[in-house]
Each structure stands twice: as structure tokens, then as C-alpha cells.
Structure 1
């Protein structure tokens, strides 16, 4: 799953993100009295109990306001990504400037992305302003996107969007976000989507949103920061963390070499092991080359094993290269192509056994063929609430089947000289050069590649819900398909499964 579902209003405005080594905490968080433009410096301080376990988050925001005095407005979604409470659970909220503490009115307003909590200072402010507040950790729950800040071992990890209340100030184009680990267990370190403990954002403060955060006694895959691939594990996962992170590095190299168009981009993989059994879930931050994987500790749940975790990691990392459509929600592409690649490419490269890929393909196929929504249109599926996971996952399997067939057709037409990914590379390169991948561009590419009938077939099956029948050699020549059926509740569904030759 990618993080595209997050409120668009909270993802707009980033123009440049970079990481840097800054001076000491005191000097980097002190006011710059010479500044002529507003700035924002945010400090994240995990709060711990006597045993160093994280029990909450304290946030300190130093805002330098320039120009004429004005009321300060800060906002946060009531629920980040529609899932994690934030605006509704903020406590101990204070605002102060050189004149002392300032009261603030609080209200809830509607927005296109959902309810927003708004704080407005009771008087005009200028100069150096300090905002402080606290947030509880997100309670443990099985499954679901890992956006919330949750305790893992003696640390904490989650998404920056679940802890930030941001100011609305015209001209604010420089923000920093960093950790204060003074209350954490000895030996703790912190990372913020980029491999270091500080993030500098040139652009609107919303550029700080959608950043995976992790702090605590971290196990690192690399010996020093600055590597292209950076991986960290927090807590005690039910697998060897060193081995898993080394395997993930090989997947990163495989994806970079196979897709080609991005070179070897900086990438952060963060793995957190919660202090309870939990299904492996993950979410990718596509625009920021990072993903957070959540697993349980100390054991797997029934039906879960190390291969399930590998599949999740490969899937979330693949999102970085598949990317997004630019003019609409297109889960059949964003998720479907990601599923197809992550369920096949590691086996083609010898990083997974073909029997594991066959099981993964079968799982996604069942989510498609075994769903009551398998013949629904994409428009109807995407209008369905996220709580209907059985419906929202249909595009994953539908897209996988479509791209498996398309790959088989391209290979056959070129006598094996070309694959789906080599055919798609010009589209990816054009997107990287600034031309968004739109439905019009997609169908134009499909028409050039496979002809007008292929465009009609795409619309009939992927968009309108016509059933996709797998090509005999879909998923390559190591697997073979055969019909099957499943009984779910009081209904029986016809579908397919794959076996290793």
C-alpha cells in the first residue's frame, strides 16, 4: 500500500527535501534573530517511563514570525489519513512569545479531506513564538496501515503526519524536523526518512508530512549514514534482523537495476517490531523513497511466516519505482503493477523460491476472484470506504492479473526480447522528466504497444470489471495455472491457482 490515500491538502508544497548534519541541539533550535523570513523548527521528544519505554510524544515548535504582528493559526487533521487520531487527542497545547503565554481558541472546521482542528492565538504575535503540545501513542491494533506512532521495544516509530500540528503563515518556506532523544534509553538514535536524525525542508511546512520516523536502540544494516540504501530495525522481530535487512538490500539493487530509470536512489527501510503478535503490514512513502514495515514480537501469528514478511517488504519497496498516476486514483496501476512485480521479480532473480511466489500470486488472485466486488467497476470500488478491505483489495489482484497477461503478450510478440517493464520504461522516464502519467498517456502507450483492441480490453476488464482470464504462460514459464474454486461463507467462487513446474 502506498501513502497516496493521505489527505492531498497535507501533501502539497514540498519543493526540496534534503538531509544534513546540523550543530548541537541547543544551537540548531535557537532563534535566528537575523532572519527576514518566517521559519519553523520542530523538535520531537519521546516521553518515557522509568524503564525507558516510550509512553507518549512531546512536540516543541519554534516559529519565527516576521513582518507585521498577526494572529497565529495552526491546524491538524482530526484523523491523519482518516485513520490515526491527532487533532482530537492533542493535549497541553500552549503558545508563548516574548510577552508570555497566549491563549488560543480551538474549533473544528470541515475540509475536502475531512474534519480539521484549528487553533488561533488570542492576540497578534511577531518575533519568536514557541508552541508546545503532547500526544499519546497510537494504541496497538492488528493489521492496517502503520501511520500511527507506536512503541516498539524501547523505541517508537510511525509517520510524521500523526504528530504534527502545523502553522499557517504566508511566506513560510523553510522548516526543520529533528529528534530530541534525551529521555530515551542509552544508545538510542533517530532517523527521519533519509537516514539521519534531522530533516530540512525548503518549501511549505506540509513538506514535513509523510515522513517515516523511528527512534530508539536501532539495529542498522549499514555501518555509516550516507549509503544509498539504509535499513533499520527497532524491537525484537521474529526473524533475524541482520539477515532480513541484507536480503532487502539485494531487493533494492534488483529493483534499481531492473527498472533502470531512477538509477540507485537513496532509500530508507524502517522495520518496527511491536511488543505483541501482529500481522506484517507496510506502507510506502512513494515521493520520499521510504517505507515502514510493522511486524509483531516475539512470534508470528497463525498463517504468517518469514516469507510473508519478505513479500510485504518487496511490495512496499517496489512502490518507489512503480510510482503513481498523475491525474487520478489508479489503484489498478499503483497497486496492481506493484503486486505483479513484487510477486515475480524476486523469484526470477533467485531471491525467493518459486513456490513462495506461487503462493503469493494465489493469495492475490483469491482476493480478486473470491470477492463479491470482482465484477465491480473501478469507480464503484474506489468510492467504497477503506474499512471494506475485501473490496479495496480487488484492484491489487485485478491489476496483477492484467499486467501478467500483458507481460506474456509482450514477450510472445517480441520472441522474448522485451518484457512489460522494458516496454514501460519510456513512460517512467517521461514521468520523471515532468510529464505526468495520465489515463490519456497510458491508453496512447497501450495503443502503440498492443493496438486499439488492447485499449478496449483494458477498459472492459480493468475499469469496467469484466473477468480477466489468465494467459497460459502468465507469470512466466516456471509456473502453470489451473482452475479452482473457493467457498467463502455461503458462496462459491471460481478462480485460479498456480503451481511450480
Structure 2
């Protein structure tokens, strides 16, 4: 109360900068474009001078181009003074396209643009699953690739609202996104609002279907699995998969001290040749190819990996664009938890857990590019699938090594969970969670800052990473040295993208199976990651030569054996294959 008894005046609080985003899907837009997406953005007054960056968008994500919004399909801007001309400039060094103001802005600014579905064919390389696709008359894509946004300093709070405008859609149109299933959604995490919008998936269309959970519990009502068209065309049991995902997600929420009623969405995307996953905001995209046979356990491992991506993450170092500084962490820790958490939750047996550990160990030690550094692997990751897989398994072995060191330093009371959860807590608080922060936390956990930095440096340099005998002892396991056949596709891996065999290795098992340079790849029936992870699996291809199609199947391993490590039950009598 004031001195005179009147209500005290509340201090004025500056309104947060606001961004309103509206998606208007248009179906049967033209004869050649069955669906397009009009995007409208409005900003609170940015008060920018002339020649300032208004918004920016990545040029590409890995090998996937983002929306260009160039002269033939421009981004249009206006403010209180009318049309605001923009100059487009590309910053190749930072992988960014920026739109610069031609004059000082006046008042609020609006932007409008049209996102076009990416045209793909059998030669389109597998890459990050961020592009806008037309699927069964609908649209599916991520804001990463199509929504240009301001680039404020990290953790700058914003009011961000997203809305669907279905005024140009058929009455039966369904929609969903990582943000939810309402027509309009306000992002509640203000410091991370822009990042939340960018890392969201959006799906809309008359054929979009939603899996309905059997239970109507609060936890299950927050879960959604979405696909386009008829479920019978999907080459796996959608209901069984959805039930597994939801149950595992609730378990992981508990482990990472998160609400078990937070929303979670899964989006399915058919592909001409890819089979894999990609994590987004409280969601992931599962891409499938009907001709690729994937076992239920492979799906469950893949999905456990993608779910784990919701929590333990490392930020990139400023100026670092290749991902060499943090991909090993983000993929390595997800690989670690995809095995350890389902085992802790009782969802996998001990035999299955041990099998998965050993499959991942052999995948690293038999990788043909094991000697690449993290930087070299990052540069080649979308040209060479062996380089793309390297951070997953290298990161895993690093975390197994660090877990052992943390246990030794804490007399067995702590493990790798401790520094990982500390880094996650820093992320939640808006504090630094980058590489240097991790090395600091790891140094505290092992009681030796120099050792922590050396462990990182040794891992990042590439090559054989050993495991001490004590590494799995708390699990009742032992380490044995062995040798295993190195992965060898038998031809240049670039052939998987070009769809024409080249670089055939004379005398290889592919050569013996009848593969020849110049053969056209009609169909890949096994994914590279499947033969890399499972040493017992054959490569299976349908090829075409001189107008005739034929099938080949062979073991994609060299005759050269390389040093490897495997886990066995402690006390097991075992003949080492040396």
C-alpha cells in the first residue's frame, strides 16, 4: 500500500520482444505442386538501422538444402512505412543466409514467404531429416529448414506464438507439431523460445492420422504418433511401437527428473531409401523404407536412442559449424543410454544388453575410418556413412572409459550419470553447457582436470580407444581382446548416393558376389548402419545390368581382421581369438 493507503504502483516491466508465426497450408496449389506452405511472421518493433540483419536461415543442414527464398520465390517484408526492401547475403563460412534491411525499420515488421516441398528421387542422399516433404497430399517438415528468424544472443527471452491457418485447407484436414495439437500455441520457455520453434516438426494434411493410445491416462494423453495415409502400408507394427515408445519415454522422464506428463510426439516419414531417426523438440521423426527389413529390436534400439536425445545435450562452441566439438557427446551419450536405461528399467534382458554392448563395440573397432579425428569425420559425415557413424560408437567408448574413472574416484558411489546430469542441469538453468563446461565437470568427477582434458583429446584425435579391465566390472562383466573382420562394403560408399556402383574392390566379397562397376542400384534392402552394427548381417542389393535386374547378397567384411574388444560375463572361460 502507498503512504496514503492507495494501492502501491507496480514497477513497469518491459514487454518481451514478440514473434508470431502462422502456417497456411494450401493443397492442390498447382498441377505440379500438390501442397505448399505459406508462412507469415510478425515481429514487435525491432528498431533496426539500415543494412542490419533482420532474419537469417541456414543454407543447409548437412547435405540437406534449406528453403532458398530467392528471386523466383522471395521473402517479402513490410513495416509501418510500407514495403521494406531486403538484401540477401550469404555467409558461407557460417552456413547462413541473411536478409538485411534497406532502411531503418519503423514499427512492427511482417514477413511472408512460401515454403516449397523438396523434390526428391532415388538418388537423393540420406541426410538430416529437416526438409519439407509432400507426403500423401500432406506436408511434413521442420522449422529448421524453412522459417528464417532473428538471431539474438543465446537465452534472450521472447514471446513466441505459433498458429495454424486452415482457411485454405479441406474441412477434414488434420494437423500436429512438436509444440502440440492446438490451433495456436504459445511457447512457455521464453529464454529458449526461438530455439524451440526452430527445432519443431510440423505436419498437416487431409490424410494425416493419429495413433490413439489404449489408455486415457494423463501421461498417455500427452503422447501422439502421426503418419500419413494407411497404417497397413507401414512395414512394422505401429501400435506395438507406439506403446513401447510411450512407456520408455515415461521411464526416461523419471530418470532425467522431468515431468512424466510433458508432451511427446512421433512423426513417421516414408522414404525412397532411408531408414533412421532424428530427434527434435519433445519429438522425433522416424523415416522408413518399406523394402528395408528392420527387426523389432532394431527399431526399439533406434527409438531409445532418439528418445534419449531429449535430455543430455552439449551446446556447440561459438564459431564451430561442423559439429566436431559436440556430435561425439550428443550421439555418444544417446548411444550409451539407449542400452543402459532400457536395461535398468527391465525392458531388455541381460543377454540382450550384453549383445547390444558388443555390437556397438565391434562397430567402432571394425569401422574402416576409425583413425579419422572428430574434425575429419565431421567434414566427411554426409559423404561417407562410416564417418557419419563414427561419433556414435567413439562417444560410447569414451563414456565407458569415463564411467570407470568416475567410479574409481568416488569409490564406486558415482558413475558417468553424475557429470552428465550436471551438464543437463546447467542447460536447464540457461547456463553454459558446451565442451569446456563438460571438461570442467568431468575433471571434478574424476578428481583430475588434466586427466579429463587428456581423455577428451585422446578421443577426439581418433584411433583405437582401449578399455581397462575394470571398465565393466560393476556390471559383472569382463573385457577380452579379440580380432574381428573390418567392415568393407566392397565398393565406394558414394555409390549408395549416386546409385551406380563405382570403385569396386578387386577380390572383395562384393566382387565375388558378382557386383561390377557400372551396375545400377535399384534397391538397397539393408541399411549401412545395419551391417555396420551387426557383424553377422549380409549386405543385400537389387542391381541392374544391361537391362536385367538381379539380386546379390554377401558378407560386407574384409578378410583382414583388426584388433577389437568385447565384453563377456565375469568368470566366463573363453578362448580368445588372437
Q: TM-score, normalised by structure 2?
A: 0.65
* Residue 295 in structure 1 maps to residue 287 in structure 2: yes
Q: What are structure 1's unaligned runs of at least 5 residues? A: 1-34
Matched, 1:116 2:102: no
Residues 465 and 225 (structure 1), Cα distance of their counterparts in 2 relative to 1, 3 Å cut: same
* Aligned position for 1:176: 161
Quote the Cα distance in structure 2 between the aligned partners of 1:218 and 1:119: 40
Structure 1's 51 and 393: CA in aligned 2 closer, same or farther, altered over 3 A? same
Alignment equivalent of 2:279, drawn from 257, 270, 284: 284
Bigger mean CA offset, 340-349 vs 403-412: 403-412
CA contact (8 A) 2:50 2:104 kept: yes
Q: How has the CA–CA distance of structure 1 residues 248 and 163 changed in structure 2, closer, same or farther, with 3 Å as cutoff?
A: same
- State the match for 2:225 in structure 1: 232
Question: 1:436-462, CA deviations, whole angstroms, 9 ceiling, x for partnerless residues?
Answer: 345555445445544548537614631
Residue 132 of structure 1: aligned partner: 112
1:264 & 1:334 partners in 2: Cα distance? 22
Native 8 Å contact 1:220 1:231 kept in 2: yes
Matches within 5 A, 1:125-204: 126=106, 131-140=111-120, 141=124, 143-166=126-149, 173-184=158-169, 186-197=171-182, 198-200=184-186, 202=190
Does the residue aligned with 2:310 lie in a helix, a strand or coil? helix
CA gap 1:310/1:411 in 2 versus in 1, 3 angstroms = same
Between 1 and 2, higher relative CO (CA 8 Å, sep ≥ 6) is seen in 1
State the shift of 1:234 in Å.
Answer: 1.6
Alignment of structure 1 residues 390-469 onto 2, 5 Å: 390-407=386-403, 418-422=414-418, 424-429=420-425, 432-433=428-429, 435-437=431-433, 439=435, 442-452=438-448, 454-455=451-452, 458-459=455-456, 461-465=458-462, 467-469=464-466
SS in structure 1 at match of 2:179: coil
Residues 1:43 and 2:22 aligned together: yes
Shift of 1:146: 0.9
2:210 pairs with 210, 216, 219, which one? 219
1:242 equivalent in alignment to 2:239: yes
Contact 1:195/1:225 (8 A) holds in 2: no
Q: Per the alignment, do residues 356 and 279 of structure 1 end up closer, same or farther by CA in structure 2, a change over 3 Å counting?
A: farther
1:6-85 aligned within 5 A: 39-49=18-28, 55-62=35-42, 65=45, 74-77=54-57, 79-82=59-62, 83-85=64-66
Distance verdict in 2 for CA 1:75–1:415, change over 3 Å: closer
Of 470, 474, 477, the match for 2:472? 474
Contact 2:364/2:393 (<8 A) preserved: yes
Q: CA deviation at 1:426?
A: 4.5
C-alpha separation between the residues in 2 aligned to 1:373 and 1:145? 21
Higher Cα Rg, which structure: 2
Deviates more, 1:35-44 or 1:366-375: 35-44
Structure with greater strand percent: 1
Structure 2 residues not aligned, in runs of 5+: 1-13, 319-324, 491-504, 506-557, 573-578
Question: What is the alpha-carbon root mean square deviation over aligned residues?
Answer: 4.4
